[in-house]
Chains A and B, each alone.
Chain A
Amino acid sequence: MQKYEKLEKIGEGTYGTVFKAKNRETQEIVALKRVRLDDDDEGVPSSALREICLLKELKHKNIVRLHDVLHSDKKLTLVFEHCDQDLKKYFDSLNGEIDPDIVKSFITQRSNRLSFSHCKHVIGRQQKYPSLALNESGELKLADFGLARAFGIPVRCYSAEVVTLWYRPPDVLFGAKLYNTSIDMWSAGCIFAVLKSVTQILFMGESEDEGQYTFTVFLNHEQSSLGEGEGEGQYKSTSLHLESTVHLSYSKYFSKIRHRRLNRLLICNPALRMSAEDAMTHSYFADLLPSLHNG
Protein backbone atom coordinates (compact mmCIF):
# COMPACT_ATOMS: atom_id res chain seq x y z
CA MET A 1 0.00 0.00 0.00
CA GLN A 2 3.06 2.24 0.05
CA LYS A 3 2.61 3.00 -3.60
CA TYR A 4 -0.60 4.95 -3.08
CA GLU A 5 -1.40 7.75 -0.73
CA LYS A 6 -5.00 7.77 0.44
CA LEU A 7 -6.68 11.14 0.05
CA GLU A 8 -10.33 10.72 0.98
CA LYS A 9 -13.16 8.23 1.19
CA ILE A 10 -15.44 8.38 -1.84
CA GLY A 11 -18.10 5.87 -0.94
CA GLU A 12 -19.17 2.28 -0.52
CA GLY A 13 -19.39 -0.07 -3.49
CA THR A 14 -21.27 -3.36 -3.77
CA TYR A 15 -18.55 -4.68 -1.50
CA GLY A 16 -15.81 -2.77 0.26
CA THR A 17 -14.93 0.87 0.56
CA VAL A 18 -13.75 3.20 -2.20
CA PHE A 19 -11.01 5.75 -1.62
CA LYS A 20 -9.53 8.49 -3.72
CA ALA A 21 -5.75 8.10 -3.74
CA LYS A 22 -2.58 9.35 -5.38
CA ASN A 23 0.15 7.24 -6.90
CA ARG A 24 3.30 8.37 -5.10
CA GLU A 25 5.52 7.81 -8.12
CA THR A 26 3.48 9.17 -11.00
CA GLN A 27 1.24 11.59 -9.02
CA GLU A 28 -1.70 10.07 -10.87
CA ILE A 29 -5.05 10.22 -9.11
CA VAL A 30 -6.78 6.85 -8.83
CA ALA A 31 -9.72 5.28 -7.04
CA LEU A 32 -8.94 2.40 -4.69
CA LYS A 33 -11.61 -0.15 -3.92
CA ARG A 34 -10.70 -2.18 -0.91
CA VAL A 35 -12.11 -5.64 -0.23
CA ARG A 36 -11.42 -6.95 3.25
CA LEU A 37 -10.75 -10.66 3.58
CA ASP A 38 -11.77 -11.42 7.14
CA ASP A 39 -11.06 -14.63 8.98
CA ASP A 40 -14.71 -15.48 9.42
CA ASP A 41 -16.02 -15.04 5.89
CA GLU A 42 -16.02 -17.09 2.72
CA GLY A 43 -12.86 -15.91 1.04
CA VAL A 44 -12.86 -13.49 -1.89
CA PRO A 45 -16.46 -12.43 -2.65
CA SER A 46 -17.71 -13.69 -5.98
CA SER A 47 -18.79 -10.17 -6.96
CA ALA A 48 -15.19 -9.01 -6.55
CA LEU A 49 -13.86 -11.95 -8.54
CA ARG A 50 -16.25 -11.35 -11.40
CA GLU A 51 -15.66 -7.63 -11.42
CA ILE A 52 -11.90 -8.08 -11.63
CA CYS A 53 -11.77 -10.59 -14.43
CA LEU A 54 -14.54 -8.95 -16.43
CA LEU A 55 -12.80 -5.59 -16.25
CA LYS A 56 -9.59 -7.26 -17.34
CA GLU A 57 -11.39 -8.31 -20.50
CA LEU A 58 -13.41 -5.18 -21.10
CA LYS A 59 -11.26 -2.32 -22.24
CA HIS A 60 -13.44 0.47 -23.57
CA LYS A 61 -13.50 4.21 -23.14
CA ASN A 62 -16.95 4.10 -21.58
CA ILE A 63 -15.94 1.54 -19.00
CA VAL A 64 -13.89 2.50 -15.99
CA ARG A 65 -10.32 1.18 -16.36
CA LEU A 66 -8.90 -1.27 -13.84
CA HIS A 67 -5.19 -0.48 -13.53
CA ASP A 68 -4.02 -3.04 -11.02
CA VAL A 69 -4.97 -5.51 -8.32
CA LEU A 70 -2.92 -5.56 -5.11
CA HIS A 71 -3.43 -8.35 -2.65
CA SER A 72 -2.35 -9.60 0.70
CA ASP A 73 -3.78 -12.24 3.02
CA LYS A 74 -6.00 -9.67 4.69
CA LYS A 75 -7.24 -7.57 1.80
CA LEU A 76 -7.59 -7.06 -1.90
CA THR A 77 -7.20 -3.60 -3.39
CA LEU A 78 -8.47 -2.77 -6.84
CA VAL A 79 -6.86 0.26 -8.46
CA PHE A 80 -9.28 2.05 -10.77
CA GLU A 81 -9.05 5.09 -12.95
CA HIS A 82 -10.55 7.99 -11.03
CA CYS A 83 -13.67 9.81 -12.19
CA ASP A 84 -14.59 13.19 -10.79
CA GLN A 85 -18.26 12.73 -10.22
CA ASP A 86 -21.11 10.36 -10.73
CA LEU A 87 -24.17 11.16 -12.75
CA LYS A 88 -26.31 11.68 -9.70
CA LYS A 89 -24.06 14.37 -8.31
CA TYR A 90 -23.86 15.96 -11.74
CA PHE A 91 -27.65 16.16 -11.95
CA ASP A 92 -27.97 17.50 -8.46
CA SER A 93 -25.63 20.30 -9.46
CA LEU A 94 -27.80 21.16 -12.46
CA ASN A 95 -30.95 22.05 -10.54
CA GLY A 96 -33.25 20.30 -12.95
CA GLU A 97 -32.07 21.85 -16.21
CA ILE A 98 -30.28 19.73 -18.77
CA ASP A 99 -29.18 20.35 -22.30
CA PRO A 100 -30.82 17.86 -24.72
CA ASP A 101 -27.52 17.49 -26.57
CA ILE A 102 -25.78 16.41 -23.40
CA VAL A 103 -28.52 13.87 -22.83
CA LYS A 104 -28.04 12.58 -26.32
CA SER A 105 -24.30 12.33 -25.88
CA PHE A 106 -24.72 10.43 -22.61
CA ILE A 107 -27.25 8.06 -24.07
CA THR A 108 -25.03 7.37 -27.05
CA GLN A 109 -22.08 6.62 -24.83
CA ARG A 110 -24.19 4.32 -22.72
CA SER A 111 -25.62 2.43 -25.65
CA ASN A 112 -22.17 2.26 -27.11
CA ARG A 113 -20.66 0.57 -24.12
CA LEU A 114 -23.67 -1.69 -23.60
CA SER A 115 -23.40 -2.89 -27.15
CA PHE A 116 -19.69 -3.46 -26.59
CA SER A 117 -20.05 -5.47 -23.42
CA HIS A 118 -22.99 -7.49 -24.73
CA CYS A 119 -20.87 -8.52 -27.69
CA LYS A 120 -18.23 -9.55 -25.17
CA HIS A 121 -20.85 -11.73 -23.50
CA VAL A 122 -21.15 -9.69 -20.33
CA ILE A 123 -24.40 -8.56 -18.79
CA GLY A 124 -24.13 -5.62 -16.42
CA ARG A 125 -27.14 -6.23 -14.16
CA GLN A 126 -26.19 -3.05 -12.35
CA GLN A 127 -27.51 -0.23 -14.47
CA LYS A 128 -28.40 2.69 -12.32
CA TYR A 129 -27.40 6.21 -12.67
CA PRO A 130 -25.31 6.55 -9.50
CA SER A 131 -23.00 3.88 -10.88
CA LEU A 132 -22.34 5.86 -14.03
CA ALA A 133 -19.32 8.06 -13.55
CA LEU A 134 -18.19 11.12 -15.45
CA ASN A 135 -14.69 12.37 -16.04
CA GLU A 136 -13.60 15.91 -16.78
CA SER A 137 -14.10 15.71 -20.52
CA GLY A 138 -17.69 14.52 -20.18
CA GLU A 139 -16.95 10.90 -20.91
CA LEU A 140 -19.43 8.61 -19.29
CA LYS A 141 -18.01 5.51 -17.62
CA LEU A 142 -19.70 2.55 -16.16
CA ALA A 143 -18.11 2.15 -12.77
CA ASP A 144 -19.74 -0.65 -10.88
CA PHE A 145 -19.39 -4.19 -12.17
CA GLY A 146 -20.11 -5.82 -8.84
CA LEU A 147 -23.15 -7.66 -10.15
CA ALA A 148 -22.00 -8.23 -13.69
CA ARG A 149 -21.42 -11.70 -15.04
CA ALA A 150 -20.59 -13.39 -18.30
CA PHE A 151 -23.40 -15.20 -20.03
CA GLY A 152 -23.30 -18.20 -22.28
CA ILE A 153 -25.61 -19.49 -24.96
CA PRO A 154 -27.93 -21.15 -24.08
CA VAL A 155 -28.45 -18.89 -21.11
CA ARG A 156 -28.66 -20.64 -17.75
CA CYS A 157 -30.59 -19.67 -14.67
CA TYR A 158 -29.08 -16.75 -12.81
CA SER A 159 -30.03 -14.99 -9.63
CA ALA A 160 -33.19 -12.87 -9.73
CA GLU A 161 -31.79 -10.60 -7.03
CA VAL A 162 -30.04 -8.28 -9.43
CA VAL A 163 -30.24 -4.68 -10.54
CA THR A 164 -31.28 -1.91 -8.20
CA LEU A 165 -35.00 -2.23 -7.71
CA TRP A 166 -36.02 0.87 -9.61
CA TYR A 167 -34.25 -0.32 -12.72
CA ARG A 168 -35.23 -3.95 -12.55
CA PRO A 169 -37.26 -5.17 -15.53
CA PRO A 170 -40.72 -6.58 -14.85
CA ASP A 171 -39.87 -10.14 -15.88
CA VAL A 172 -37.02 -10.28 -13.36
CA LEU A 173 -38.97 -8.34 -10.75
CA PHE A 174 -41.60 -11.04 -10.93
CA GLY A 175 -38.98 -13.71 -10.39
CA ALA A 176 -37.62 -14.71 -13.82
CA LYS A 177 -34.21 -16.33 -13.49
CA LEU A 178 -33.68 -16.96 -17.15
CA TYR A 179 -32.66 -13.65 -18.62
CA ASN A 180 -29.88 -12.21 -20.66
CA THR A 181 -28.82 -8.91 -22.17
CA SER A 182 -32.40 -7.67 -22.29
CA ILE A 183 -32.17 -7.00 -18.55
CA ASP A 184 -29.68 -4.22 -19.24
CA MET A 185 -31.82 -2.75 -21.99
CA TRP A 186 -34.77 -2.24 -19.65
CA SER A 187 -32.51 -0.43 -17.21
CA ALA A 188 -31.18 1.56 -20.15
CA GLY A 189 -34.73 2.64 -20.90
CA CYS A 190 -35.25 3.68 -17.31
CA ILE A 191 -32.05 5.69 -17.28
CA PHE A 192 -32.97 7.29 -20.56
CA ALA A 193 -36.23 8.39 -19.02
CA VAL A 194 -34.40 9.60 -15.94
CA LEU A 195 -32.01 11.59 -18.10
CA LYS A 196 -34.77 13.22 -20.08
CA SER A 197 -36.87 14.10 -17.11
CA VAL A 198 -33.86 14.92 -14.94
CA THR A 199 -33.85 12.73 -11.86
CA GLN A 200 -37.47 11.69 -12.03
CA ILE A 201 -37.29 7.95 -11.35
CA LEU A 202 -39.79 5.89 -13.31
CA PHE A 203 -40.71 2.98 -11.12
CA MET A 204 -39.95 3.80 -7.55
CA GLY A 205 -40.55 1.16 -4.93
CA GLU A 206 -39.05 0.54 -1.53
CA SER A 207 -39.28 -3.25 -1.56
CA GLU A 208 -39.78 -5.96 -4.14
CA ASP A 209 -43.47 -6.24 -3.31
CA GLU A 210 -43.88 -2.54 -3.60
CA GLY A 211 -41.91 -2.53 -6.82
CA GLN A 212 -44.25 -5.10 -8.29
CA TYR A 213 -47.20 -3.17 -6.98
CA THR A 214 -46.08 0.17 -8.35
CA PHE A 215 -45.46 -1.49 -11.62
CA THR A 216 -48.82 -3.20 -11.74
CA VAL A 217 -50.68 -0.06 -10.84
CA PHE A 218 -48.69 1.86 -13.39
CA LEU A 219 -49.48 -0.59 -16.16
CA ASN A 220 -53.10 -0.84 -15.24
CA HIS A 221 -53.42 2.88 -15.09
CA GLU A 222 -51.74 3.33 -18.42
CA GLN A 223 -53.76 0.63 -20.07
CA SER A 224 -57.09 1.86 -18.81
CA SER A 225 -56.31 5.43 -19.65
CA LEU A 226 -55.33 4.40 -23.14
CA GLY A 227 -58.37 2.19 -23.41
CA GLU A 228 -56.47 -0.73 -24.88
CA GLY A 229 -55.97 -2.88 -21.81
CA GLU A 230 -57.54 -6.26 -21.53
CA GLY A 231 -58.16 -7.79 -18.16
CA GLU A 232 -56.50 -5.15 -16.06
CA GLY A 233 -56.13 -6.03 -12.44
CA GLN A 234 -55.12 -9.57 -13.28
CA TYR A 235 -51.49 -8.72 -12.94
CA LYS A 236 -50.18 -11.31 -10.58
CA SER A 237 -46.66 -12.52 -10.21
CA THR A 238 -47.49 -15.59 -12.27
CA SER A 239 -49.43 -14.01 -15.08
CA LEU A 240 -47.23 -11.33 -16.49
CA HIS A 241 -48.63 -9.74 -19.60
CA LEU A 242 -45.70 -10.27 -21.84
CA GLU A 243 -47.07 -8.44 -24.81
CA SER A 244 -47.59 -5.11 -23.18
CA THR A 245 -45.37 -2.15 -23.69
CA VAL A 246 -45.09 0.46 -21.05
CA HIS A 247 -46.75 3.56 -22.38
CA LEU A 248 -45.37 6.67 -20.89
CA SER A 249 -47.20 9.84 -20.30
CA TYR A 250 -43.99 11.79 -20.25
CA SER A 251 -44.87 13.81 -23.31
CA LYS A 252 -43.50 16.86 -21.58
CA TYR A 253 -40.01 15.45 -21.93
CA PHE A 254 -40.14 13.28 -24.96
CA SER A 255 -40.58 14.20 -28.53
CA LYS A 256 -42.32 11.51 -30.52
CA ILE A 257 -39.28 9.81 -31.94
CA ARG A 258 -37.60 9.47 -28.57
CA HIS A 259 -40.79 8.26 -27.08
CA ARG A 260 -40.92 5.53 -29.65
CA ARG A 261 -37.39 4.50 -28.82
CA LEU A 262 -38.21 4.35 -25.14
CA ASN A 263 -41.21 2.22 -25.94
CA ARG A 264 -38.97 -0.28 -27.59
CA LEU A 265 -36.73 -0.46 -24.54
CA LEU A 266 -39.50 -0.68 -21.98
CA ILE A 267 -41.23 -3.72 -23.40
CA CYS A 268 -42.33 -6.28 -20.83
CA ASN A 269 -41.46 -9.24 -22.98
CA PRO A 270 -37.65 -9.46 -22.85
CA ALA A 271 -37.51 -11.19 -26.21
CA LEU A 272 -39.03 -8.20 -27.97
CA ARG A 273 -36.91 -5.60 -26.24
CA MET A 274 -34.49 -3.69 -28.46
CA SER A 275 -30.88 -4.88 -28.39
CA ALA A 276 -27.97 -2.57 -27.65
CA GLU A 277 -26.80 -2.78 -31.23
CA ASP A 278 -30.22 -1.88 -32.59
CA ALA A 279 -30.30 1.00 -30.18
CA MET A 280 -27.05 2.30 -31.65
CA THR A 281 -28.49 2.43 -35.15
CA HIS A 282 -31.67 4.21 -34.07
CA SER A 283 -32.50 7.42 -35.87
CA TYR A 284 -32.25 9.29 -32.57
CA PHE A 285 -28.48 9.10 -32.95
CA ALA A 286 -28.41 9.77 -36.68
CA ASP A 287 -27.20 13.35 -36.39
CA LEU A 288 -24.31 12.58 -34.04
CA LEU A 289 -20.73 12.63 -35.13
CA PRO A 290 -19.57 9.29 -36.46
CA SER A 291 -16.65 9.42 -34.03
CA LEU A 292 -19.05 8.74 -31.19
CA HIS A 293 -20.18 5.56 -32.82
CA ASN A 294 -16.76 4.03 -33.05
CA GLY A 295 -15.10 3.69 -29.78
Chain B
Amino acid sequence: VLLGYEYQNDIYEIKKDLEKPYHPINCMASQPVVTSFMRCTLVNWLVKVNHELKFAPETAFLAVNLCDRFLQATPLAQDCLQLMATSALTVAAKMEECIVPGISELVAMCGGTYQPHHFRRMEVLMLSKLGFELYAPTTWFFITHLAMKAAESGSWDKRVVSLA
Protein backbone atom coordinates (compact mmCIF):
# COMPACT_ATOMS: atom_id res chain seq x y z
CA VAL B 1 0.00 0.00 0.00
CA LEU B 2 1.30 3.41 -0.94
CA LEU B 3 1.87 6.17 1.59
CA GLY B 4 -1.02 8.62 1.59
CA TYR B 5 -3.10 6.17 -0.41
CA GLU B 6 -6.31 7.17 1.35
CA TYR B 7 -6.08 10.69 -0.10
CA GLN B 8 -5.51 9.61 -3.69
CA ASN B 9 -9.06 10.14 -4.87
CA ASP B 10 -9.49 13.43 -3.00
CA ILE B 11 -6.40 14.79 -4.68
CA TYR B 12 -7.63 13.67 -8.05
CA GLU B 13 -10.96 15.44 -7.55
CA ILE B 14 -9.24 18.71 -6.59
CA LYS B 15 -6.84 18.56 -9.50
CA LYS B 16 -9.72 17.82 -11.85
CA ASP B 17 -11.56 20.93 -10.64
CA LEU B 18 -8.45 23.05 -11.05
CA GLU B 19 -7.73 21.78 -14.55
CA LYS B 20 -9.83 24.40 -16.33
CA PRO B 21 -8.70 27.58 -14.53
CA TYR B 22 -5.07 26.57 -14.92
CA HIS B 23 -5.31 25.51 -18.52
CA PRO B 24 -3.62 27.89 -20.99
CA ILE B 25 -5.83 28.70 -23.97
CA ASN B 26 -4.22 29.56 -27.27
CA CYS B 27 -1.13 30.83 -25.51
CA MET B 28 0.65 32.00 -28.67
CA ALA B 29 -2.20 34.22 -29.93
CA SER B 30 -0.97 37.51 -28.49
CA GLN B 31 2.71 36.97 -29.25
CA PRO B 32 3.98 39.39 -31.94
CA VAL B 33 7.44 37.84 -32.25
CA VAL B 34 7.57 34.47 -30.53
CA THR B 35 6.41 31.63 -32.79
CA SER B 36 5.15 28.15 -32.03
CA PHE B 37 8.39 26.80 -33.41
CA MET B 38 10.39 28.82 -30.88
CA ARG B 39 8.15 27.58 -28.10
CA CYS B 40 8.78 24.04 -29.21
CA THR B 41 12.56 24.54 -29.13
CA LEU B 42 12.19 26.13 -25.73
CA VAL B 43 10.22 23.21 -24.30
CA ASN B 44 12.81 20.74 -25.62
CA TRP B 45 15.53 22.75 -23.96
CA LEU B 46 13.58 22.91 -20.69
CA VAL B 47 13.10 19.16 -20.60
CA LYS B 48 16.83 18.61 -21.13
CA VAL B 49 17.77 21.07 -18.38
CA ASN B 50 15.20 19.47 -16.09
CA HIS B 51 16.79 16.09 -16.70
CA GLU B 52 20.29 17.44 -16.15
CA LEU B 53 19.33 19.00 -12.82
CA LYS B 54 17.82 15.62 -11.82
CA PHE B 55 14.42 17.15 -11.19
CA ALA B 56 11.25 15.09 -11.13
CA PRO B 57 9.17 15.00 -14.34
CA GLU B 58 6.41 16.89 -12.48
CA THR B 59 8.73 19.91 -12.26
CA ALA B 60 9.22 20.09 -16.04
CA PHE B 61 5.49 19.78 -16.69
CA LEU B 62 4.76 22.49 -14.18
CA ALA B 63 7.43 24.75 -15.70
CA VAL B 64 5.89 24.38 -19.17
CA ASN B 65 2.46 25.22 -17.77
CA LEU B 66 3.89 28.36 -16.15
CA CYS B 67 5.59 29.33 -19.44
CA ASP B 68 2.40 28.91 -21.43
CA ARG B 69 0.27 30.85 -18.98
CA PHE B 70 2.85 33.61 -18.93
CA LEU B 71 2.97 33.73 -22.74
CA GLN B 72 -0.80 33.88 -22.82
CA ALA B 73 -0.78 36.97 -20.59
CA THR B 74 2.32 38.81 -21.78
CA PRO B 75 3.77 39.66 -25.20
CA LEU B 76 7.45 38.78 -25.01
CA ALA B 77 10.55 39.76 -26.98
CA GLN B 78 12.52 36.93 -28.51
CA ASP B 79 15.66 37.64 -26.50
CA CYS B 80 13.75 37.24 -23.22
CA LEU B 81 12.36 33.83 -24.06
CA GLN B 82 15.11 31.79 -22.46
CA LEU B 83 15.11 34.05 -19.41
CA MET B 84 11.39 33.49 -19.00
CA ALA B 85 11.69 29.70 -19.36
CA THR B 86 14.55 29.55 -16.86
CA SER B 87 12.52 31.57 -14.37
CA ALA B 88 9.55 29.27 -14.89
CA LEU B 89 11.74 26.25 -14.19
CA THR B 90 13.14 27.89 -11.05
CA VAL B 91 9.67 28.71 -9.76
CA ALA B 92 8.52 25.16 -10.50
CA ALA B 93 11.60 23.82 -8.70
CA LYS B 94 10.91 26.01 -5.70
CA MET B 95 7.46 24.47 -5.50
CA GLU B 96 8.47 20.88 -6.08
CA GLU B 97 12.12 20.19 -5.36
CA CYS B 98 14.22 20.09 -2.19
CA ILE B 99 17.24 21.65 -3.87
CA VAL B 100 16.83 24.68 -6.12
CA PRO B 101 19.57 26.00 -8.45
CA GLY B 102 21.11 29.28 -7.32
CA ILE B 103 21.02 32.39 -9.47
CA SER B 104 24.70 32.03 -10.38
CA GLU B 105 23.88 28.57 -11.76
CA LEU B 106 21.05 30.05 -13.81
CA VAL B 107 23.40 32.66 -15.25
CA ALA B 108 25.80 29.89 -16.29
CA MET B 109 22.95 27.77 -17.68
CA CYS B 110 22.02 30.56 -20.09
CA GLY B 111 25.64 31.04 -21.14
CA GLY B 112 25.96 34.46 -19.49
CA THR B 113 23.28 36.06 -21.67
CA TYR B 114 21.47 37.49 -18.64
CA GLN B 115 22.58 39.18 -15.43
CA PRO B 116 21.49 38.03 -11.95
CA HIS B 117 19.11 40.95 -11.54
CA HIS B 118 17.33 39.92 -14.75
CA PHE B 119 16.40 36.62 -13.12
CA ARG B 120 15.13 38.29 -9.96
CA ARG B 121 13.00 40.76 -11.90
CA MET B 122 11.63 38.13 -14.26
CA GLU B 123 10.66 35.95 -11.31
CA VAL B 124 8.64 38.71 -9.64
CA LEU B 125 7.08 39.66 -12.97
CA MET B 126 6.08 36.07 -13.64
CA LEU B 127 4.61 35.59 -10.17
CA SER B 128 2.54 38.72 -10.46
CA LYS B 129 1.34 37.91 -14.00
CA LEU B 130 0.27 34.47 -12.80
CA GLY B 131 -1.29 35.91 -9.64
CA PHE B 132 0.75 33.47 -7.52
CA GLU B 133 -1.42 30.65 -8.77
CA LEU B 134 1.22 28.01 -9.16
CA TYR B 135 -0.26 24.65 -8.21
CA ALA B 136 -1.33 23.79 -11.72
CA PRO B 137 -2.50 20.23 -12.31
CA THR B 138 -0.17 18.71 -14.89
CA THR B 139 -0.44 16.02 -17.54
CA TRP B 140 2.13 14.10 -15.53
CA PHE B 141 -0.15 14.06 -12.49
CA PHE B 142 -3.11 12.69 -14.45
CA ILE B 143 -1.04 10.08 -16.26
CA THR B 144 0.53 8.75 -13.07
CA HIS B 145 -2.85 8.75 -11.37
CA LEU B 146 -4.40 6.74 -14.20
CA ALA B 147 -1.41 4.43 -14.30
CA MET B 148 -1.85 3.71 -10.61
CA LYS B 149 -5.51 3.01 -11.12
CA ALA B 150 -4.56 0.67 -13.94
CA ALA B 151 -2.06 -1.06 -11.68
CA GLU B 152 -4.79 -1.60 -9.09
CA SER B 153 -7.01 -3.32 -11.59
CA GLY B 154 -4.09 -5.37 -12.88
CA SER B 155 -3.85 -3.83 -16.34
CA TRP B 156 -0.66 -1.90 -15.62
CA ASP B 157 1.55 -1.24 -18.60
CA LYS B 158 4.76 0.63 -18.10
CA ARG B 159 4.49 2.25 -21.52
CA VAL B 160 1.41 4.21 -20.42
CA VAL B 161 3.54 6.56 -18.33
CA SER B 162 5.80 7.29 -21.29
CA LEU B 163 2.82 8.76 -23.16
CA ALA B 164 2.94 11.95 -21.11
Physical interaction between A and B: yes
Verify A43–B119 contact, CB threshold 8 A: yes
Verify B90–A43 contact, CB threshold 8 A: yes
Whether B158 sits at the interface, judged by CB under 8 Å, is no
Residues of B within 8 A of A7 (CB): none
From 58 to 98 in chain B, residues with beta carbon under 8 angstroms from any chain A beta carbon are: 58, 90-91, 94-95, 98
**How far apart are the CA atoms of A270 and B116 in the complex, in Å?**
43
Q: How far is the CB of A291 from chain B (nearest CB, A)?
A: 23
Q: How far is the CB of A67 from chain B (nearest CB, A)?
A: 13
- A contact residues vs B (CB 8 Å cutoff): 37, 39, 42-46, 49-50, 52-54, 56-57, 69, 71, 73, 76, 118-121, 149-159, 178-182, 270-271, 275, 277
Interface footprint category on B: 35 or more
> Among the interface residues A44, A54, A150, A158, which one has the most CB atoms of the partner chain B within 10 A?
A44
Which B residue sits closest to A157, measured CB to CB? Answer: B98
Whether B100 sits at the interface, judged by CB under 8 Å, is yes
Residues of B within 8 A of A119 (CB): 7, 10, 14
Verify A153–B148 contact, CB threshold 8 A: yes
- B contact residues vs A (CB 8 Å cutoff): 1-8, 10-11, 14, 56, 58, 90-91, 94-95, 98, 100, 102-103, 116-117, 119-121, 123-124, 127-128, 132-135, 141, 144-145, 148
Residues of B within 8 A of A46 (CB): 94-95, 100
Q: How far is the CB of A1 from chain B (nearest CB, A)?
A: 16
Verify A49–B4 contact, CB threshold 8 A: no
27 example contacts (A-B, Cβ-Cβ < 8 A) are as follows A43-B103, A43-B119, A43-B124, A49-B95, A56-B132, A56-B133, A57-B135, A69-B132, A73-B120, A76-B124, A119-B7, A119-B10, A120-B14, A121-B11, A149-B95, A150-B95, A152-B58, A152-B144, A153-B5, A154-B2, A154-B3, A155-B3, A180-B4, A181-B7, A182-B3, A271-B1, A277-B6
